[in-house]
């Protein structure tokens, strides 16, 4: 039993180290930050996620550490050890898998743009909601929150820190209204 606990502890440490090494050199851009910066004329044209950026994903009471990877047209938050996977297009979470979900339970969010009708499917269950345009609520410097109201659900949120980097993404991802929250790990410990 003691050997098993030691193996799990060591495995978790190795997994975390592998994630950090895999992210090295990764540059991730987010369009809402570029939009904000273009409105106010400050900062570089693209947001860069620090090389050591790790995200805590929370869904249905389960938390996983995920690394961010730039892909064509979206950001992939993933952890190879836990098979947790979240696809984010810069405004909307588009796909969620892992998190103790079997393959037929993966969530897919479909929308023609960032506002208007949106379909959320989980297996054979689906719902449609109507979402408004994203609204910016500024705070100090480049910090603040993008919020989007959708019929029948709490608002979707994308929160930026003082440097204009995304710190939190909190959105509805399931027909039942379940939410997924991604939070930059370094912002949790501040």
The confidence score (pLDDT) of residue 149 equals 96
The CB-side HSE value for 97 (13 A sphere, CA atoms) comes to 13
Assign domain 2-188 to a CATH class: mainly beta
Q: How confident is the model at residue 190 (pLDDT cuts 50, 70, 90)?
A: low
The confidence score (pLDDT) of residue 52 equals 55
What percent of the chain shows pLDDT beyond 90? 40
How do residues 40-94 score in pLDDT, each as one tens digit?
443 333 444 444 578 999 998 888 999 988 888 888 999 878 788 999 998 999 9
The confidence score (pLDDT) of residue 94 equals 94
Q: Which residues of 18-29 are buried (b: 16+ CB within 10 A; e: fewer)?
A: ebeeebeebebe
The confidence score (pLDDT) of residue 69 equals 87
Cα gap 141→163, rounded to integer Å: 7
The confidence score (pLDDT) of residue 20 equals 35
The confidence score (pLDDT) of residue 31 equals 52
To which residue do tokens 């399931």 refer?
174
**Size of the chain, expressed as the number of residues it contains:** 190
pLDDT at 4 over 80: no
pLDDT at 28 over 60: no
The confidence score (pLDDT) of residue 185 equals 81
Mean pLDDT of 138-165: 92
Q: What 3-state class would DSSP assign to 30?
A: coil
How do residues 84-132 score in pLDDT, each as one tens digit?
899 999 899 999 988 877 777 788 999 988 899 999 998 888 999 999 9
């Amino acid at each position: 039993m003691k050997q098993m606990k030691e193996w799990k502890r060591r495995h978790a440490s190795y997994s975390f180290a592998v994630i950090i090494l895999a992210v090295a050199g990764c540059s991730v851009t987010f369009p809402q930050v570029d939009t904000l910066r273009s409105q106010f004329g400050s900062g570089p044209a693209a947001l860069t996620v620090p090389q050591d950026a790790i995200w805590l994903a929370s869904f249905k009471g389960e938390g996983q550490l995920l690394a961010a990877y730039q892909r064509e047209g979206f950001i992939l938050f993933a952890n190879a050890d836990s098979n947790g996977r979240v696809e984010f297009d810069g405004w909307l979470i588009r796909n969620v898998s892992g998190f103790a979900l079997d393959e037929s339970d993966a969530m897919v969010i479909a929308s023609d743009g960032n506002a208007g009708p949106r379909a959320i499917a989980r297996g054979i269950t689906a719902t449609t909601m109507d979402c408004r345009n994203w609204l910016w609520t500024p705070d100090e410097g480049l910090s603040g929150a993008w919020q989007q109201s959708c019929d029948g659900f709490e608002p979707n949120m994308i929160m930026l820190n003082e440097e204009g980097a995304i710190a939190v993404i909190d959105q509805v991802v399931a027909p039942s209204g379940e939410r997924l929250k991604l939070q930059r790990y370094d912002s949790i410990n501040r």
